[in-house]
Chains A and B, each alone.
Chain A
Amino acid sequence: MGESITLFSEDGKRSDGRSLDELRPIRIKVGVLSNAQGSAYIEQGRNKIIAAVYGPKEALPKHISLPDRCILRCRYHMAPFSTTERKSPAPSRREIELSMVLRNALEPLVMTWLFPRTVIDIFIEVLQADGGTRCAGLTAAVLALADAGIPLKGLVAACAVGKADGKILVDLNDLEDKYGEADMPVAYNPTLDGITLLQMDGIMSKEEVEQALSLAITATQKMHKMQVDALRERFSVQRREV
């Protein structure tokens, strides 16, 4: 327990040289997999995540199907090579829980009632992890759903905010996530002006939560613009090909 981690440099910058409200460099590409119905790839700092969508397809076995809407099945998985030490490829407790959390975050977005008795499979594969993978995975999954042509109530972008050394930070990296005081992933839908994911780990005062939430919404709005640009690039390229 004697190790000392410095999260901020003397000039007040974060360990990776960012300011407090600065996002990591983000690169988004839509339609990266030809076999999946919809797919997207995101690089957020050192995070590398790919998302794929299959469906809507018939729900099998039949007894799992719902007569009035489709089922969303989400699988969040970290590749064995995604961390510095090999991770077991078997789904861990954390991965199973995050799969459920992401499914719950996506469910208000997808117009499930349009496809009764069907299932939509969403796969989120973390190729390289550096903190905030659930948020980056969610951002990619939404784009994969849009790419698959599934009707959505807007695009959701997600970003983690947190607290370290008493300061509120945006888009936490692995170091800040582990050694910070609090971590709060937020997914925000600018179209509906609603939050579809809000979790918190650690301790923050009411004022700090409010400040963090407003920073998160500003950050997700920036990410939403990147999502729109990525989709526009994908479909303008497709149009030229046609």
Chain B
Amino acid sequence: MRESPSRLVLVGEPLATLEEFFPGDGTFEKDGVIYSSRIGRVSVDRNRRMLEVVELKPLLVPKPGFKIIGSVTGFSSHYANVRIFYVNGNRLSYEYTGLVGRESFGRSYPRFRTGSLRNYVRENDLIYGEVMSTVNVNLIDLSAKEYGVVKAYCGNCGSPLVLFKKYLTCPSCRTRENRKLSVFYNEQIERLVARV
């Protein structure tokens, strides 16, 4: 049972003792006393006997499980570099970089005959995914059906690609391309952010 966040606490404020609770997120322990490590509201999980401080100003740093929106900036050896600019529906003040590799697509890789990563994502594509791991790099998961490319551009002329009979086709030069598409392909970014 989790009690809803209550009173406002400041940094360094003693909250409880180790006999009563375990120190959770936003707290630290010193000499058996649990202190608040940030400004926020105290939240108590009685089942886990955990004391947490829910922050007033969330720090937008990518963590595993966070949903992201970003654009592919380029390729380096076996990975595509992604510039992350939305985390959990919040616009980042400072953009982070992430990577999309073959592990990002789970069991579906290789889905296409050539198996090249360029059949999944390409430069300038807008992607919607989930942070898989933050060890060493921010690795992005695109394996679920809602994750993948939400806006793609033609590799030949740069026009936005349209979905025509299950294929991505360029309306200008009629080029057909492959991508790992999200079910939200061509959705407005504002609506996508609201969905997150």
Chain B positions near chain A (C-beta within 8 angstroms): 8, 10-12, 26, 28, 30, 35, 37-39, 55-59, 61, 93-97, 134, 136
Contact = CB atoms under 8 A, between A and B. Distances in A.
Contact of B11 (A67, A154, A236): A154
A228 interface: yes
A237 B96 CA distance: 32
Q: How many residues of A sit at the interface, in one of the four size bands?
A: 20 to 34
A154 B33 CA distance: 13
B59 A150 contact: yes
A41 B11 CA distance: 18
A231 B10 contact: yes
Contact of A37 (B26, B28, B93): B93
Among all A-B residue pairs, the 7 with the closest Cβ atoms: A154-B12, A57-B94, A191-B12, A149-B57, A151-B37, A146-B11, A152-B11
B56 A238 contact: yes
Contacts of B10: 146, 155, 228, 231-232, 235
Nearest to A153: B28
Contact of A67 (B38, B39, B95, B136): B136
Contact of B59 (A56, A67, A116, A154): A56
Contact of B38 (A146, A192, A232): A146
Contact of A239 (B8, B30, B55, B136): B8
Contacts of A154: 11-12, 35
Interface of A: 37, 54-58, 67, 111, 115-118, 146-155, 189-192, 228, 231-232, 235-236, 238-239
A232 B10 CA distance: 8
Contacts of B134: 116
Contact of A152 (B12, B58, B94): B12
Contacts of A190: 12
A58 B95 CA distance: 7
Q: Describe B's contact surface by its main secondary structure.
A: loop
Given A149-B56, A154-B35, A189-B12, 13 more contacts: A54-B94, A58-B96, A115-B59, A146-B39, A147-B39, A149-B55, A152-B11, A152-B38, A153-B28, A154-B12, A190-B12, A191-B12, A191-B30
Contacts of B30: 153, 191-192
A155 B8 contact: no
A146 to B, nearest CB: 5
10 contacts: A57-B96, A67-B136, A111-B37, A146-B11, A146-B39, A149-B59, A151-B28, A154-B11, A235-B10, A239-B8
A67 B135 CA distance: 8
A193 B11 CA distance: 15
A140 B93 CA distance: 23
A91 to B, nearest CB: 24
B59 A235 contact: no
Contacts of B8: 232, 235-236, 239
A121 B61 CA distance: 15
A54 B37 CA distance: 18
Interface core residue of B8, B12, B96 (most chain A CB under 10 Å): B12
B56 A235 contact: yes
B93 A151 contact: no
A58 B37 contact: no
Nearest to B26: A151
A191 B134 CA distance: 32
Contacts of B57: 37, 147-149
Contacts of A236: 8
A149 B58 contact: yes
Given A231-B10, A231-B11, A58 B58 contact: no
A189 B37 CA distance: 13
A154 B38 CA distance: 9
B9 to A, nearest CB: 10
A235 B38 contact: no
A152 B37 contact: yes
